[in-house]
Structure 1
Amino acid sequence: MLEIYWGCFLFGVIFAAGTLLFGDVLHNAVSLSTEFSLEHLAWLQPMVIVGGITGFGGSGLLLARYTELTDPAVVIFSVCIAALLSVLVYFVYVKPMRHCENSSGFFITDLIGKTGEVIVLIPAGGFGEVLIRVGAGNTNQTAASYSKIELPAGTKIVVAEIREGVLYVYRNNKQSGGRAE
């Protein structure tokens, strides 16, 4: 049984070292596949699973060596400790960290459908500037009127489309439920 405990423990240590050194490369390779999404199984993160395996191996080694428990009892206690460690890793580290990363980077195409505000007058046939909230920050973008009408500063807008890096916007008229102009 000691070989199994050592194997689980060493696997966890090697996995942790590999994640430390190559974690971003592996994450990017896996995230390229849009079909592979574990959002609905957030507790099934590699850190949680490997943490449990490592906890099983480490606790098995300690219990087998420093207690008078029988092999089946050591296995049962090791599984319980591994489950407890997995739950702790999930609730103390994985779950809080999942939503704490904010990025100021975005694709301009992500702005389609976003609401914002005109900060520099958009003339009927020209360009102005809009302010749009993106993630934890704001972005100022060059904009033109989608309907070829003047949009004064302070007007609430919605991004209709993007052509050649310019946002084409229309007035956000919530009362009519759609494009007012």
Structure 2
Amino acid sequence: MDVLFWCCLLFGALMALVTLVFGDGLGDALGGLFSIDLHDVFQPVVLSGGITVFGGLGLLLHHYSSLPGYSVLVLAVLGAILVGAGMYFVYVKPMKNSENSTGYSMNELAGKLAEVLTPVPAVGYGEVLVKTVGGLSNHVAASFDKEEVPAGAKVVIVEVKEGTLYVSRME
């Protein structure tokens, strides 16, 4: 039993260290071999934590308690599951939920306010500045109402067609 617990303790600690030091580089070099998309529970931090706790708790219970071998094994497995679940709910899940994307779709711009940078002629194209999720972005604009819109004017994006924002002046 000691050999199993020692192997798990050392393997889990080594896995945690390698993941910490070489995690992204190793994953990229091996083409994402270790990225398991089944569920976030299989993240290296959860697995290495659970394996390490299984080995460490098993050693402690085996040496410092009078429990029989199967009880030590069951308690070590339960401890590993408990710590793995804790790692998942305290670290992995909040980190996954905190990821933000700076991308947006052009179709999401309809209804947003913008400012005219380059005057928009009645027929033709100008440029507007729109505040998006990722910051400010410039886009080609045309007049929705076929009226000239001067630089600095506030406009609303009425529709988006073929990469062009059709704007109408705010009154």
In the superposition, the TM-score normalised over structure 1's length comes to: 0.70
Within a 5 Å distance, the mapping from 1:115-134 to structure 2 comes to: 115=109, 116-120=112-116, 122-123=120-121, 124-134=123-133
- Asked whether the 8 Å contact 2:115–2:128 carries over to 1, the reply is yes
In the other structure, the counterpart of 1:111 is 105
CA–CA distance in structure 1, aligned partners of residues 52 and 143 of structure 2: 58
Identity of aligned residues (%): 36
| RMSD of aligned residue pairs (Cα, Å) | 3.1
- Asked whether the 8 Å contact 1:48–1:89 carries over to 2, the reply is yes
> In the TM superposition, what whole-angstrom CA distance separates every residue of 1:19-42 from its partner, at most 9, and x where no partner exists?
1111222455429x9xx744xx23
In the other structure, the counterpart of 2:140 is 143
CA–CA distance in structure 2, aligned partners of residues 113 and 6 of structure 1: 57
Deviation at 1:67, TM superposition (A): 1.3
Gaps of 5+ in 2: none
Query: SS of the residue aligned with 1:154?
Result: strand
Within a 5 Å distance, the mapping from 1:28-177 to structure 2 comes to: 28=28, 29-30=31-32, 37-38=37-38, 41-102=39-100, 106=103, 110-115=104-109, 116-120=112-116, 122-123=120-121, 124-134=123-133, 137-145=134-142, 149=146, 153-157=154-158, 159-162=160-163, 168-170=164-166
In the superposition, the TM-score normalised over structure 2's length comes to: 0.73
CA–CA distance in structure 2, aligned partners of residues 21 and 132 of structure 1: 38
> In the TM superposition, what whole-angstrom CA distance separates every residue of 1:52-71 from its partner, at most 9, and x where no partner exists?
11111111111112112221
- Please identify the structure whose Cα radius of gyration is greater: 2
